């Protein structure tokens, strides 16, 4: 990892430079394949500013620390960078751990179709929960016509059973009501 330290409006100091390199090397364990690290140390009136830019395979990271003490500004910069990198890694882990992405579902369903015969039940069934409100058929039809959904699940207030109303392909509506044999 190549670490470049630039001093602005201040004298170059070997001790500060080695302190920065020591702190930045601790960040290396969090970053995958860091290509370059650039640290800028500056003084504006009474305030010390430490800025860092890290370019690696995971992207480009930037952070800045400001304090009256140069070493405190460097520590602040490194702490912010460490937190930023950890948050990015956690975000990536959560994304990879979530198999419900559309690509993963599509790949799984294609594999299931290839490996199963026609009479088998698919092993991947998507579950969706919905609230079924008690209402009449007329209320259900008016709610469905107002919504953008293709179907509405409701409890029929007359029969007190679960019913479904859905838009048919011809533009009309169809009503599904269970009945005992």
Indicate the domain borders of the chain: 2-97, 127-181
Per the CB < 8 A criterion, the answer to whether 178 and 162 are in contact is yes
In the prediction, which pLDDT does 121 show?
57
Q: What is the pLDDT of residues 118-158, one digit of tens each?
A: 455 566 777 777 788 888 988 888 888 888 888 889 988 88
In the prediction, which pLDDT does 28 show?
81
User: Among 58, 55, 71, which Cα is nearest to 16's?
Assistant: 71
Q: How confident is the model at residue 39 (pLDDT cuts 50, 70, 90)?
A: very high
**Residue 128 CA from chain centroid, whole number:** 21
Give me the architecture of the 2-97 domain, per CATH. Answer: 2-Layer Sandwich (3.30)
Pairing between strand 47-56 and 34-44? antiparallel
User: Among 79, 86, 19, which Cα is nearest to 58's?
Assistant: 86
Could you tell me which CATH number the domain at 127-181 has? 3.30.505.50
Which of 56-70, 79-93, 114-128, 133-147 has the weakest average pLDDT?
A: 114-128
- Nearest-angstrom CA–CA distance, 16 and 75: 12
Mean pLDDT of 19-27: 89
Q: Which residue has the tokens 């190549």?
A: 2
Q: Is the pLDDT of residue 45 over 90?
A: no
Q: Which two structure tokens, joined as six digits, stand for 122?
A: 């698919």
- Nearest-angstrom CA–CA distance, 157 and 132: 11
Which of 9-23, 70-84, 104-118 has the weakest average pLDDT?
A: 104-118
Q: Is the pLDDT of residue 16 over 90?
A: yes
């Amino acid at each position: 990892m190549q670490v470049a330290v630039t001093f602005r409006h201040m004298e170059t100091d070997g001790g500060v430079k080695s302190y920065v390199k020591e702190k930045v090397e601790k960040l290396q364990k969090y970053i995958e394949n860091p290509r370059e690290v650039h640290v800028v140390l500056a003084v504006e009136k009474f305030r010390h500013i430490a800025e860092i830019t890290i370019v690696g395979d995971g992207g480009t990271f930037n952070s800045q620390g400001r304090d009256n003490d140069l070493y405190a500004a460097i520590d602040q910069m490194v702490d912010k960078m460490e937190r930023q990198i950890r948050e990015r890694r956690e975000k990536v882990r959560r994304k990879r751990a979530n198999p419900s992405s559309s690509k993963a579902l599509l790949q799984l369903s294609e594999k299931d179709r290839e490996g199963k015969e026609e009479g088998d039940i698919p092993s991947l069934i998507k579950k969706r929960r919905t609230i079924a409100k008690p209402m009449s058929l007329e209320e259900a039809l008016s709610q469905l016509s107002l919504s953008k959904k293709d179907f509405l699940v409701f409890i029929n207030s007359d029969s007190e059973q679960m019913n479904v109303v859905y838009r048919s392909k011809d533009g009309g509506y169809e009503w599904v009501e269970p009945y005992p044999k």
